[in-house]
């Protein structure tokens, strides 16, 4: 049985989620390098932060794969991550670093918009019983 072609919006959504996963993975690697290269005030906190960021990268990659497969649960997971990302961006904006904040806000907004497009909603809808 042949599977129906995936909507372009769904593939763009998956691509953006994979890019976010890659960016978070780079952040995790940079945290590990920072732990090795300098002396953190608390090794336990530094290692825990690096582990959490690495876990977030893995989970985002899983969401990206599930997006390509048009799994219904990805909408909730993606929205949750985007809201967290926007909250971090607002915090960064308040710290007077608008360039970094906009790098977080723009992809989050694009993903949220894509999640609510008709083609993505239909592709990820739960099948009728």
Return per-residue pLDDT of the chain as tens, 129 residues.
457 789 999 999 999 999 999 999 999 999 999 999 998 999 999 999 999 999 999 999 999 999 999 999 999 999 999 999 999 999 999 988 889 899 999 999 999 999 999 999 999 998 877
Cα–Cα distance for residue pair 16/3, rounded to 1 Å: 23
pLDDT of residue 97: 85
Three-state DSSP class for residue 4 = coil
126 part of a folded domain: no
Cα–Cα distance for residue pair 108/89, rounded to 1 Å: 10
CB-based contact 111:13 (threshold 8 Å): yes
Domain count for the chain = 1
Tokens read off for 105? 């806000």
2 part of a folded domain: no
Whether pTM exceeds 0.75: yes
Range of the domain at 41: 8-121
97 part of a folded domain: yes
42 part of a folded domain: yes
90 part of a folded domain: yes
């Amino acid at each position: 049985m042949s599977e129906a072609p995936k909507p372009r919006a769904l593939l763009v959504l998956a691509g953006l989620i994979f890019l976010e996963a890659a960016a978070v993975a780079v952040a995790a690697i940079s945290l590990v390098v920072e732990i090795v290269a300098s002396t953190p005030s608390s090794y336990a906190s530094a290692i825990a932060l690096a582990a959490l960021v690495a876990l977030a990268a893995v989970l985002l990659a899983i969401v990206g794969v599930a997006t390509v497969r048009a799994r219904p649960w990805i909408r909730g997971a993606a929205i949750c991550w985007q809201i967290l990302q926007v909250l971090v961006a607002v915090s960064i904006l308040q710290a007077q670093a608008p360039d970094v904040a906009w790098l977080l806000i723009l992809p989050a907004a694009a993903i949220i918009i894509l999640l609510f497009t008709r083609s993505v909603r239909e592709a990820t809808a739960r099948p009728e019983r």
